[in-house]
A and B are shown apart, each in its own frame.
Chain A
Amino acid sequence: MKRFAVQDHELVPEHILLTPEEAQQVLEQYGVEARYLPKIHVTDPVAEEIGAKVGDIIKIKRKSPTAKESIFYRLVID
């Protein structure tokens, strides 16, 4: 079976796995614990692709009609 990267599809925005330091910074910026962030399953194809583990935070750069680019964070859960 031919493997492909979901992120190569134009409708899948860029997903970036944050380092623990970066993740900490995000949480501090918003003054929240990780559980207050939106969630994403570890089994999500994109999460698998970038090798995310439960507890990681993923940064997503989305195209936005109002702001050109909008940043979103999601906590990896199982």
Chain B
Amino acid sequence: MAESKQIKTMVDVGKAALQVSDGERVEKTLLRAKGPGDDKIHTWPHLVRAEFLCFLAVLAFMLVWSLLVDAPLEQPAAPTRTPNPSKAPWYFLGLQEILVFFDPWHAGVVLPSFIIVGLMVLPFIDINPKGNGYFCYADRKWEILTFFGGFHFLWIVLIVVGTFLRGPGWNWFWPWEVWDSHKVVAMSNVDLPYLFGFRDYTLSALFGLAVVGGYFVIGTALMYWLIVRAKGREFMERWGMARFGLASFLFLNMIAVVIKLVMRMGFNIKYIMVTPWINI
């Protein structure tokens, strides 16, 4: 009874689920087993049956879907007639959307490479031994928050924007607006050095370089300080400089996407750094 009083709303249920830690999870699984050493069951029939039922259900679903909805086939290819807008396949639209904030060499090549490399090094960066093999938020707050930020917020939200909210000229159209291919959008973007009063080309470039370099230097220092504060010096020593450096570099690159998104959408700033070779 006492328990049912504590947990009243769905929010409480969620909170309770999030608070469960390592020890309790393990206990629960063990309780479900019938006795010591009885945590294992036979693959046949238990797992094979579950797989088979899942297989049938999904196959039926795919059949119905394919019977009801036809795959698109448009006009024959015409290399001289460019549609407006031209959109990449939906799963790449997040990257195409980032083209609004970054030049193609960064949005289309460097960032995707960082995403792939970042995913690959994840198991080697994350040295938290807890939370292996069960769902638990409390044991791995930072890992989960970062993943949610990168995957759910950036990747998925940008795909939704690119798919549903971008029309001709890659301009923003709400779903209830008509796609007007003559929509005029004032091009009032300026570069950050210009905004700060720099008019000389070389000085602007140097200023931009200082801002970008400063971002990474100060950002890394800040992360170092925050992590030592939150987790202690002992953790930082165990983690090691190579892991920390890689993690903070990738993390800062991810945050940079958000920063440029805000700068561009909120303040019409196009580039932070302009040089004859690359612009950022």
Please indicate whether A and B come from the same complex rather than being unrelated chains. no
